[in-house]
């Protein structure tokens, strides 16, 4: 099937803002939320900066019975789902339970919950470990908790492909909608800013060790030396166009028009990376050409070799400086699986408001032939956008979103 898949609701929880407009105004203003870690004492670690979500009090949003059984990422995801459904004008309990699915991505699961229970095991003994540890750490827990809380019994799953996973989850939701499901809430929220999660992230060798928030995360810059981790992400209500029209969806942000995923050859192979191929396949899936893309939201690894590979792929597809490129995640840090759904939300808001947000702090290296938007928002008239995400281990994912006409009945 080739049914059109529309985005009719957004639920955003980001270091720069809780909710759509708070996040978007901060993004356009270039306000960064990167700072010294406060969720634990980072003094003894080589990396000490993160994009943390401030002002989120789970007790203000969730029933007390859920708090003992959920990790921070799940609490954020549950609230993000509430916001996304409210934005879409949907009361899930009023829809047939088997018509709505939940598909999320996860990079690391409930790290903080797992750390706390392991501490209890080591210091107090097994009788002090919560029974909720059996699932609160698990990669699929956000899908499970959202589906249980909302009573959703449609196709549900989790995708694990590191930073690429957020796009892959949206693509999986699109496939389910084309098979006949009416609505899927999809995307990702990650949150692993805790000592155990921090050490795990440091093993990648890709974390910045700068203590200056303005110099720590600089993709496509000659000073690039790693990324800053963050927490949060976005959940999107995706809907088959006919269903959105029949129920009178109050708003349509755009259409998920195309997607492709590839995997790079193993390190040391003489074969080329496959990001360019993912972009080309996503454009083909959308039935569009490079000339139709008004902006690219880059993965923006801030690791020189990875930045070079991404810049070269963009240049080969679009030509030298052939399309505006941006990476608003420099204000939030890399949110792992939550990053790409947040970029998709930003891309849809760019199309809505006809503006491209800036990549703060970075100064484009002359060795890259891309048109990086820096300094201030750039007025533009994008009708389509490309979002790129790459995960450690060679995962590549590319998604095309475009404007869609309102579907009011």
pLDDT per position as a tens digit, 228-248: 999 999 999 999 999 999 999
Cα–Cα distances in angstroms (integers) from residue 395 to residues 172, 248, 273, 298, 376, in the given order: 15, 37, 10, 14, 31
Has this prediction a pTM greater than 0.85? Answer: yes
The number of beta carbons lying within 10 Å of the beta carbon of residue 321 is 15
- Would you give the distance in Å from CA 175 to the centre of its chain? 19
pLDDT of 1 reads 55
What is the average per-residue pLDDT within 212-220? 97
| pLDDT, average across residues 316-342 | 97
Q: What is the mean pLDDT of residues 263-277?
A: 89
- Cα separation, 121 vs 3, in Å, equals 50
Confidence at residue 132, expressed as pLDDT on a 0 to 100 scale: 80
Mean pLDDT over all residues of the chain?
Answer: 94
pLDDT, residue 207, reads: 96
Pair of tokens at residue 70: 């959920």
End-to-end CA distance of the chain: 23
Say whether 15 sits in a helix, a strand or coil.
Answer: coil
The label of the residue with tokens 């969730």 reads 62
Q: How many CB atoms lie within 10 A of CB 13?
A: 27
Query: Lowest mean pLDDT: which of 132-141, 225-234, 324-333?
Result: 132-141
Which pLDDT does position 150 carry in this prediction? 95
Is the pLDDT assigned to residue 121 strictly greater than 90?
no
pLDDT for residue 269? 83
* Residue 390 DSSP one-character state: E
Strands, E, within 228-270: which ranges?
232-240, 254-263
Q: Over 80: is that where the pLDDT of 409 sits?
A: no
Report the alpha-carbon distance of residue 187 to residue 341 in Å, rounded: 5
Nearest of 225, 384, 388, 366 to residue 313 by alpha carbon: 388
Where is average pLDDT lowest: 141-145, 163-167, 268-272, 273-277? 268-272
126 confidence band (pLDDT: 50, 70, 90): confident
**Among 233, 210, 225, 180, residue whose Cα is nearest residue 74:** 233
**Quick one: pLDDT at residue 360?**
97
Contacts of 341 (CB under 8 A, 6+ apart): 105, 166, 167, 169, 170, 186, 187, 188, 233, 234, 235, 236
More confidently predicted of 108 and 377: 377
pLDDT digits (tens, 9 = 90+) for 343-374: 999 999 999 999 999 999 999 999 999 999 99
Q: Hey, is 371 helix, strand or coil?
A: strand
Q: What is the tally of helices (H) and strands (E) in the chain?
A: 11, 16
Residue 302 C-alpha from the chain's centroid = 17
Q: What is the pLDDT of residue 129?
A: 83
| pLDDT attached to residue 271 | 87
Residue 266: pLDDT band by 50, 70, 90 thresholds?
A: confident
Asked whether the predicted pLDDT for residue 393 surpasses 50, the reply is: yes
| Bridge partners of residue 17, in order along the sequence | 14
Cα 125 to the chain's mean position, in Å? Answer: 37
pLDDT for residue 407: 54
pLDDT classification of 341: cutoffs 50, 70, 90: very high
């Amino acid at each position: 099937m080739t049914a059109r898949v529309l985005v009719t609701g957004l639920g955003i929880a980001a270091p720069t803002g809780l909710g759509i407009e708070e996040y978007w105004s901060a993004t356009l203003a270039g306000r960064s939320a990167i700072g010294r870690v406060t969720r634990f004492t980072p003094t003894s670690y080589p990396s000490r900066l993160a994009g943390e979500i401030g002002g989120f009090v789970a007790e203000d949003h969730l029933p007390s019975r859920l708090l003992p059984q959920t990790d921070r990422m799940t609490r954020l995801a549950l609230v993000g789902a509430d916001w996304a459904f409210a934005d879409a004008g949907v009361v899930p309990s009023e829809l047939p339970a088997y018509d709505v699915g939940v598909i999320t991505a996860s990079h690391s699961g409930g790290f903080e919950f797992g750390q706390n229970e392991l501490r209890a095991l080591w210091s107090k003994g097994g009788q002090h470990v919560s029974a909720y540890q059996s699932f609160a750490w698990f990669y699929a827990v956000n899908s499970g908790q959202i589906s249980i809380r909302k009573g959703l019994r449609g196709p549900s799953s989790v995708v694990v492909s590191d930073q690429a996973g957020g796009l892959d989850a949206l693509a999986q939701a699109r496939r389910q909608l084309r098979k006949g499901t009416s609505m899927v809430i999809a995307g990702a929220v990650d949150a692993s800013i805790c000592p155990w999660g921090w050490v795990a992230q440091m093993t990648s060798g890709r974390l910045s060790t700068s203590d200056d928030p303005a110099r720590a995360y600089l993709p496509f810059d000659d000073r690039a030396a790693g990324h800053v981790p963050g927490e949060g992400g976005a959940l999107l209500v995706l809907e088959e166009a006919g269903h959105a029209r029949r129920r009178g969806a109050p708003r349509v942000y755009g259409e998920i028009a195309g997607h492709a995923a590839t995997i790079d050859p193993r390190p040391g192979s003489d074969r080329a990376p496959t990001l360019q191929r993912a972009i080309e396949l996503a454009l083909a899936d959308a039935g569009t050409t490079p000339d139709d893309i008004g902006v690219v939201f880059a993965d923006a690894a801030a690791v020189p070799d990875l930045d070079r590979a991404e810049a070269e792929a963009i240049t080969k597809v679009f030509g030298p400086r052939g399309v505006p490129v941006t990476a608003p995640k420099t204000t939030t840090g890399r949110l792992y699986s939550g990053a790409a759904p947040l970029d998709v939300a930003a891309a849809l808001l760019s199309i809505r408001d006809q503006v491209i947000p800036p990549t703060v702090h970075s100064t484009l290296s002359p060795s890259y032939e891309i048109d990086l938007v820096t300094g201030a928002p750039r007025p533009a008239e994008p009708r389509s956008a490309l979002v790129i995400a790459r995960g450690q281990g060679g995962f590549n994912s590319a998604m095309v979103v475009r404007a869609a006409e309102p579907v009011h009945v």
